Amino acid sequence: MNWEQAWLKYEQDETGTYASFLSSITLKGHSEVLDTAVKELQLAAAAMYGIIPHVNESEKIPHEGIHLVVGDNDMAIGTEGYKIESYGGLITVYGESDVGVLYGVFGVLRLMRSGGIPDGYQGVEIPDNPLRMLNHWDNMDGSIERGYSGESFFFKSGEVIVSERIMDYTRLNASIGINGVVINNVNVAGAAIDLITEKYREPLKTYSDIFRAHGIKLYLSLDYAAPMDIGGLDTCDPLDEQVITWWQRTLDALYSELPDMGGFLIKADSEGRPGPFSYGRTHAEGANMLGKIVAPYGGIILWRCFVYNCTQDWRDTTQDRASASYDHFIPLDGAFDDNVILQIKNGPMDFQVREPVSPLLGAMKATNQVLEFQAAQEYTGQQRHVCYLVPMWKEVLDFRTHCASENDRVRDVVAGRTYAMKHSGIAAVANTGNDSNWTGHDLAAANYYGFGRLIWKTSLTSEEIAEEWVCQTFNREAVDVICNMLMKSWPAYEKYTSPLGIGWMVNPGHHYGPNVDGYEYDMFGTYHRADHLAMGVDRTEAGTGYIDQYFPKNKRMYSSTVTCPESLLLFFHRIPYSYQLSTGKTLIQHIYDAHYEGVETVSEMLEQWTALEGTVEALPYMRVKKRLEHQLDHAGLWRDVVNSYFYRKTLIEDEKGRKLY
């Protein structure tokens, strides 16, 4: 193996605390999932204590060791929940299903290596979200769209790779409760169009087998034009009989060999992809056609709400990209079949460092919804900068949409607590790749781990998740420092990049590094509209009217510069540089100061990390140090470009007399 085990590298525990527990495993019966659980315990026992646990097949309750119990309890913990109890020398893991037990085993191992399992411990864990998914944007040539961790480990040169790495990847997922994986880029092109054909059946069956043994379902992204691209038809109109027949035949064949496929992810009518629109059909008609075909197999259709085919003219200030998804999908509420799910990005724009919550979330009362985050740090430092995203995700999940009087937070909506949804949950664009440490930046693995843990249990704090992760990835001695670094990383990134919710200001195309006007005069609806006196976009009723999409209480909050959260001030309002913020600073001085402060924080982070030399392993130490050095340099560039841009535009001097260019 030339890759690493991330948070599943079970390190030698010289205290021997859990050696006796890991000496014997008792369970009744067999299944592939239970085998996975036992193997994981064996792996941990060998690595931590150099022992091979004795596996007892028995119905009797053992006196010591670890006891895995399926179904034999009267707790309402659902099909994926588990309970852990520790009394005397015995740790018992209960689950209603094999998968629950597997999750419980990962829970036991996590506790052993982070918080500990004291005698008398009792803990029940039930996942908050039914669907807990990763979306990989991997292409079949091995590249990864917005991938910052090397090449794909699923695909290479047009082939599906079956390697040991898939097994470890699957273990990492199962250990944090991921239960669905879309392996190919939602922009389906080239060889990926054929993934649903016989050609790739064998390796996909292998994937499906490995996934199944870990409680995970395989999903594919579909090419909506496949009836034309593969089928040779001259249309992909979802109401065309030939099209329907083609999909029926193709997906029947697929399910006959891959009976537990989870379903399909589709991005249609956006970024140049064809879709139902091309034939005058609604997205509901387009999605339901596929939904009906996969329904008998228990399959689902995830329909992505990122629609921006209607590019803008920057000269037209009445159009607003932020409004597009809501305007488009709200009229379809109730029109989607019950195995069709809308997948909604957390914000109305595109994974910026700061956006308001998408007004779609909570607004659709009769439509299955999955929330989409982006763990891949496209706009948040591309895994060359540290940017711990769990605090951002928590803000989204904790946001009150006011769609209901209670259970109205985003986390309630997507967990299915607000409205009865047949399917709901959370997905993230994955941040993994073939780099030995999985995520390019060692500290970016906290976002992979953190995503899984947070969506399993949305009440976990960002600090708790960070601490768990550091304990398992590095060691207890490094917890305080690394958690501190992680917790200040997103605020720092926000400070030294685009101010107060306005977003963008990146180089076009690759989206890395500062370019204040990079997308300012482009067709993508991403404008700051800064002039000599003011900047920001008026999205109130006097402006683009976007705020109308929120429920009244939020609309009121955003409509006034006084009540609008300052972090989103420039997203919702056009503000003069002389405007006084709550700190007493003017907007322009805030911009200057924040950019200096953000870089200062990175400088602190580099110092903090340097002090960890010897505390963390040499290889990750050096890797992270090198990236932090780049981050400091690059954050300085961000600071100077953004500050100089506004200085040149306003000619307002920095009150503190620092150098502007």
Query: Among all residues, which ones are annotated catalytic?
Result: 271, 350, 378
Cα→Cα distances 88→20, 58, 91, 95, 596, Å: 11, 19, 8, 21, 55
Closer to a copy of itself at the Cβ: 465 or 530?
A: 530
> Judged by CB, which is closer to a copy of itself: 35, or 629?
629
CA distance 159 to 149: 20
Amino acid at 107: G
Give me the least distance between CB of 521 and a copy of itself, in Å please.
4
Instruction: In whole angstroms, give the CA distance from residue 302 to residue 180.
Output: 12
Query: In terms of CB distance, is 509 or 657 closer to a copy of itself?
Result: 509
Q: How far is CA 335 from CA 22, 152, 284, 345, in A?
A: 52, 37, 6, 20
CB of 643 to a copy of itself, least distance (A): 11
Distance in Å, CB of 318 to a copy of itself, minimum: 13
We find the least distance from the C-beta atom of residue 506 to a copy of itself, in angstroms, to be 11
Closer CB to a copy of itself, 542 or 637, in the complex: 637
Residues of this chain that bind a copy of itself (CB under 8 A): 314-315, 317, 507-509, 514-518, 521, 529-533, 637, 640-641, 644-645, 647-651, 661
Q: What angle do CA 347, 352, 353 make, to 5 degrees?
A: 115
In this structure, what DSSP letter does residue 548 have? G
Type of residue at 250: T
Give the shortest CB-313-to-a copy of itself separation in angstroms: 9
- Which amino acid, one-letter code, is at 121? Y
> Is 639 within 8 Å of 647 (Cβ atoms)?
no
CA distance 611 to 594: 26
Give the C-alpha separation, 433 to 427, whole Å.
Answer: 17
CA distances from 12 to 15, 482, 641 (A): 9, 21, 48
Residues 6+ apart with CB under 8 A from 489: 385, 386, 387, 388, 443, 605
Shortest Å, Cβ 161 to a copy of itself: 24
**464 neighbors 388 (Cβ within 8 angstroms):** no
Q: Please, which residues have CB within 8 angstroms of residue 115's CB and are 6 or more apart in sequence?
A: 468
CB of residue 641 vs a copy of itself: minimum separation in angstroms? 4
